[in-house]
Amino acid sequence: MEKQEIRQTMLAKRLELTEAERVQAGQLALRQMQKLLRGCERVMLYMPFRGELDTLVIARWLQEQGGEIVLPLTDKKNRKLTPALVSGLAALQPAAYGILEPTPGSYQVVEPASLQAVIVPGAAFDRAGYRTGYGGGYYDRFLPCVSATCLTIGYGYEWQFIESVAPDPWDYKLKYIVTDQRCWTVPSV
């Protein structure tokens, strides 16, 4: 399958999920994610959009553990993400693409190298650590800016985990893929 076809198929399937299915998958995925994030103090995650696997349960768990939550600010003109440290999830507003982002004055911009983990959304993920996103390349440009020790984690439903997404040369390879069923460590070779 071509990337565009994979993207369309997966996004349509995601929109068909019921709220109960999303909640259950989010709780199961949180259990998988907790193993990876233990000891991480500063984690960047996305705000769920159009049926994406819920990250709010992760944000609440991180806050309970005393961790710091970082959300991406999206610059559509330059196709760039900027990490923004927030004190909570109360001061959010719809921004680029309708995705919730911190309101001006409610965040502090931080360096990508200060992140210990980045949770990455996608339409599909494969065993080699590649993903198909929405096609804008935001994360493929952002992830090379994090430190080599940062945990880069693809996050999606088990059915989004496919054999191959047919990566392009500019696609960024993730270290882990977490779904509601498993935590896959991507082989380093």
Residues 71/59, Cβ–Cβ less than 8 Å = no
pLDDT in tens, 23-39: 999 999 999 999 999 99
Say what the pLDDT of residue 97 is. 87
- 40 pLDDT higher than 90: yes
- Residue 2 phi/psi, 5-degree rounding, is -75, 155
Task: Give the whole-angstrom CA distance, residue 82 versus residue 110.
Answer: 8
* Number of helices (H), then strands (E), in the chain: 4, 13
Position 47, amino acid: M
User: What's the token pair of residue 145?
Assistant: 């800016």
Which letter does DSSP use for residue 50 in this model?
Answer: T
Alpha-carbon span 183 to 127, nearest angstrom: 11
End-to-end Cα separation, the chain, in angstroms: 24
Q: What is the largest CA-CA distance in the chain?
A: 44
pLDDT at position 167 over 70:
yes
Identify whether the C-beta of residue 47 lies closer than 8 Å to the C-beta of residue 69: no
> Could you read off the pLDDT of 99-130 as tens digits, one per residue?
999 999 999 999 999 999 999 999 999 999 99
Calculate ∠ Cα 101-57-138, nearest 5°: 40
Architecture of the structural domain at 3-185 = 3-Layer(aba) Sandwich (3.40)
Closest to 70 measured CA to CA, from 175, 133, 11, 150: 150
* pLDDT at 90 (0 to 100): 87
> What predicted TM-score, i.e. pTM, was given to this entire model?
0.94
Burial annotation 44-57 (CB, 10 A radius, 16+ → b, else e)? bbbbbeebbbbbeb
* pLDDT tens digit sequence for 68-100: 999 999 999 999 999 999 988 888 998 988 899
Alpha-helical segments (H) within 134-186: 138-142
pLDDT, residue 1, reads 63
